Amino acid sequence: MKISLKDNRGVPVSTTNLKSLERLEQACDLMNGYFNDPFALIDEALAEDPGFVMGHCFRAAFMATATDKTFLPEVRKSVEAAEALAGKANDRERGHIAGARAWLESDYDRVAEHYQRVLIGHPRDLMALQLAHLRDFLTGQAMMLRDRPARTLHAWDESVPGYNYVLGMQAFGLEESGDYARAEERGRQAVALQPRDSWAVHAVAHVLEMQNRTAEGIDWINKGSDYWSGDNGFAYHNWWHLSLFHLDRGNTAEVLALYDRLIRNTASTMPMELIDAAALLWRLHLMGVGVGQRWKEVADKYEATVEDGHYAFNDFHAMMAFAADGRTAASERLLATLARRAGATDWNGVATRTVGLPLCQAIDAFAKGRYAQAVEILLQVRPVAYRFGGSHAQRDILSLTLIEAALRGGQGRVAQAIAGERTELKPLSGVNRLLAQRAAGLAKAA
């Protein structure tokens, strides 16, 4: 007979060790708020009960969400440990074991399939929901970011621990789907319930970014930061959002100060952190702002892993670092690697072929002054770029690069069209005003 306890939300867990279950609960809470260090707690849980299948599943899957190839040996170890325990696992846990295996293989379609099944049976499985939400983010599935949390809400209310996290996830999905009013409402509700919910804070920041409410955005990030910024593995990204608000207001000195103090103040090689660093420096690069030696540090980190990539969104940001830092050899190595990888039939192969590789070619062309080529690729790929993941705010870099390439390449009409498109979305944006003026001047002169 299988013996199981239930977690705080009534979800069955195959262990008789209360301490292990308690550690898992705490780790889950840290994971959902991106606080450090859930893995230390899971290690304690596994030391208590080495046969704790959900401990192994947690370790494998959450580690895999970092999209860092160097973690894969550890992910594999945990997947294999979980698989060896499948015989004593319940149905829900077997879904997690299969989900962890799919994470290891970067098979994001199967990741979604397995957690979906788990969540239909156990809508209060917060760990499955978070992992599936991260999958939806990594694969650019805006509607699933919105709908997956929504499907579970029938089983939740304020009395269930972690309710705020479900609201925060839904808020982000609503924002990515363009429903800004409901996104803001849900996000603010989540933060009111739990001010430490950094993802819900982030969801509201996205709404403010998309609506160009820069003064409110600056206030929103700053005023709650004491709650979520300490010892938090996601704080850098909320600070990145703060820097975008400042950037639109033309406060580039503040952006650089934020970069140094809060965004790139560690020696971290975590892909998600490097992405934000490269994306921010590239925005400054497009605006003609000198960033000193800052590219060097980011480009060095990317060079060390250029052939290891297994997530096209990361590769694209590596290319920006190489291009801006004048690293022709590294750019060529990356393009050759991507050309090989583009032949694969897995998720990353498809994302590389259809989005990652052409966008890297566009960045390479931009860096070499082949602006017409950059414009042509960006015009073609930008509408389908969601396929390689990231948020609208992150992929906005494609519009900015396209406009700048058109301006530098003398294509005033293209610049005018895309700057106009961006102005319709953000009529009060300072950046848009400048770009639209330059575009109109160029189009007129043509």
Q: Which is nearer to Fe ion, 14 or 391 (CB)?
A: 391
Residue whose entry in the numeric block shows the structure tokens 């970069």: 259
Interaction residues for Fe ion, span 127-146 (CB under 5 A) = none
CA distance 85 to 281: 46
Total residues contacting Fe ion by CB under 5 A comes to: 1
What is the number of the residue whose Cβ is closest to Fe ion?
391
Q: Which is nearer to Fe ion, 92 or 237 (CB)?
A: 237
For 38, 65, 110, 337, the CA distances from 60, given in Å and listed in that order, are 12, 9, 15, 27
Q: What are the tokens at 192?
A: 């009111």
Q: Which is nearer to Fe ion, 188 or 353 (CB)?
A: 188
Q: Which is nearer to Fe ion, 229 or 391 (CB)?
A: 391
Q: Which is nearer to Fe ion, 130 or 416 (CB)?
A: 130
- Tell me the closest approach of the beta carbon of residue 402 to Fe ion, in angstroms: 21
Contact window for Fe ion (CB under 5 A) among 24-32, 89-97, 357-365, 383-391: 383-391
First-residue to last-residue Cα distance in the chain: 80
Q: Which is nearer to Fe ion, 170 or 391 (CB)?
A: 391
Is 284:252 a contact under the CB 8 Å cutoff?
A: yes
- Tell me the closest approach of the beta carbon of residue 240 to Fe ion, in angstroms: 7
- Tell me the closest approach of the beta carbon of residue 202 to Fe ion, in angstroms: 5
Q: Name residue 344's amino acid.
A: A
- Tell me the closest approach of the beta carbon of residue 282 to Fe ion, in angstroms: 16
Interaction residues for Fe ion, span 55-74 (CB under 5 A) = none
Mask for 391-410, x = binds Fe ion (CB under 5 A):
x-------------------
Contact window for Fe ion (CB under 5 A) among 132-140, 303-311, 388-396, 428-436: 388-396
- Tell me the closest approach of the beta carbon of residue 273 to Fe ion, in angstroms: 13
- Tell me the closest approach of the beta carbon of residue 420 to Fe ion, in angstroms: 25
Contact window for Fe ion (CB under 5 A) among 77-85, 162-170, 280-288, 386-394: 386-394
Q: Which is nearer to Fe ion, 391 or 432 (CB)?
A: 391
Is 5:18 a contact under the CB 8 Å cutoff?
A: yes
CA distance 83 to 424: 52
Q: What are the tokens at 177?
A: 């789907």
Q: Which is nearer to Fe ion, 391 or 411 (CB)?
A: 391
In total, the chain counts a number of residues equal to: 446
- Tell me the closest approach of the beta carbon of residue 392 to Fe ion, in angstroms: 9
For 331, 371, 376, 402, 409, the CA distances from 362, given in Å and listed in that order, are 12, 8, 8, 9, 13
Is 102:128 a contact under the CB 8 Å cutoff?
A: no
Q: Which is nearer to Fe ion, 122 or 241 (CB)?
A: 241
- Residue 292 burial (CB count, 10 A): 8
Q: What are the tokens at 425?
A: 């979305």
For residues 38, 43, 47 and 53, what is the CA-based torsion angle, rounded to 10 degrees? 80
Q: What are the tokens at 251?
A: 């406060």
Contact window for Fe ion (CB under 5 A) among 121-129, 389-397, 405-413, 428-436: 389-397
- Tell me the closest approach of the beta carbon of residue 170 to Fe ion, in angstroms: 16
- Residue 324 burial (CB count, 10 A): 22
Name the DSSP class of 5. Answer: E
- Tell me the closest approach of the beta carbon of residue 339 to Fe ion, in angstroms: 30
Residue whose entry in the numeric block shows the structure tokens 């957690």: 115
Contact window for Fe ion (CB under 5 A) among 21-29, 210-218, 366-374, 384-392: 384-392
Cis peptide before 37 (omega within 30 of 0): yes
Q: Which is nearer to Fe ion, 396 or 404 (CB)?
A: 396
- Tell me the closest approach of the beta carbon of residue 137 to Fe ion, in angstroms: 9
Q: For binding to Fe ion (CB under 5 A), which residues are involved? A: 391
